[in-house]
Amino acid sequence: MTMINRQLRLKTRPEGLVRRDDFELQEQAVPELKNGQCLVRVLYLSMDPTNRVWMSDIPQYMPPVAIGEVMRALGLGRVVASKSAHYAEGDLVQGLLGWQDYAVIDDRRRQDYVTLPSNLSVPLPTLLGACGFSGITAYYGLTDIAPVQPGETLVVSAAAGSVGSIAGQIGKLRGARVVGIAGGADKCRHLVDDLGFDAAVDYKADDWKQSLAEATPDGVHVNFENVGGPVMRAVLSRMVNGGRVALCGLIANYTSTNRPGDDYSIVIVKRLSVRGFLAFDYQDTAKAIQDLIGWVTSGRIKAEETIEHGLENAPLVLNKLFEGSHRGKLLLRVAKEA
């Protein structure tokens, strides 16, 4: 029986939000495996702001996705066939699977994939979210890039999102006062009532800069920054001298061709340390994943996912990241296991 693989290939580079027509849905037979390869059924795809960057040709940390190429994306899948010594049928793998039903992993690229133990105590969506790259990003940002200390004030932007919600909770575990910035009163209530943030600021409210000032009476020691633009400027203006910024993302820029005029002056005025980072740079993430799984299992960190369905919907689902219409980790379920 020939298995069909649906793939979304980049047709045109989007401007602003992504359109369905920027991608072409192709169907083709799953290729015959060669020795040293395995076939993975994609179960969930991770919808990340960085996907939007990869679609563009602005300077970035990996080559842009080429026109005609399958859209690059992190995902979680199950090995369904193997001619590899490293992967066995039934293995659960996480890594760059792409916007498609099936991915072939070649042993030579196995450093790009993590095989997860099968007896895990957390559900698959959480493995790809709070315990996957989103959680890992939050983890390294606050333990390695800008380690937050007990009693310090941490401000997290996009705090109701996949990375921000975990970053804020890790900040609480480390003993910091944690202030989240999010869009809308519901998200802000959620941060305080459900996730244990000390305060939340709704950047869509008129007086949000005043609220931010009131929520940070001692200034801001650490900023875990996901947004950029006016939100970042407001946070930087609240920082203490010598404050640290873990610069994780700039989602305000990704769909804009007219970039906001950021200004480095405040970095001198406040003697800030601003460090950009990528979770991909960390080679051995086993300890981070183990810690995250432990915190989720024990309930010390609450994981949350917004799950959408259908590979064909990937382009429009991705836009939810920029519209802010989701909470927690945004995932696309491509297939349901029997």
Contacting residues toward its own copies, per CB under 8 A? 58-61, 228, 232, 237, 241, 247-250, 253, 259-278, 281
263 CB neighbour count, 10 Å cutoff: 9
Q: For the CB of residue 88, give the shortest distance to its own copies in the complex, in Å.
A: 35
DSSP-assigned letters across all residues of 135-153? HHHHHHIIIIIS---TT-E
Beta partners for 46? 331
Distance of CA 49 to the CA centre of its chain: 7
Structure tokens that stand for 104 in this block: 């072939």
Q: Between residues 30 and 227, which has the closer beta carbon with respect to its own copies?
A: 227
Question: Considering the complex, what minimum distance in angstroms separates the CB of residue 159 from its own copies?
Answer: 19
Question: Residue with structure tokens 């305000």?
Answer: 252
**Min dist. Cβ of residue 237 to its own copies (A):** 7
The minimum distance between CB 332 and its own copies, in angstroms, equals 24
CA dist 24 and 47 (Å) reads 18
Nearest to 285 by CA among 166, 122, 137: 137
| Strand, helix or coil for residue 197 | coil
Q: How far is the CB of 11 from its own copies (least distance, A)?
A: 25
Taking the complex as a whole, the smallest distance from the CB of residue 140 to its own copies amounts, in Å, to: 11
Q: How far apart are the first and last CA of the chain?
A: 19
What are φ and ψ of residue 51, in 5° steps? -55, -40
In this complex, which beta carbon is closest to its own copies, that of residue 74 or of residue 247?
247
For its own copies, which is the closer residue by CB, 7 or 50? 50
CB-side neighbour CA atoms (13 Å) of 195? 32
Of 191 and 251, nearer to its own copies (C-beta) is 251
Looking at the Cβ atoms of 58 and 85, the one nearer to its own copies is 58
Structure tokens at 145: 């890039």
User: CB-wise, 8 or 227, nearer to its own copies?
Assistant: 227
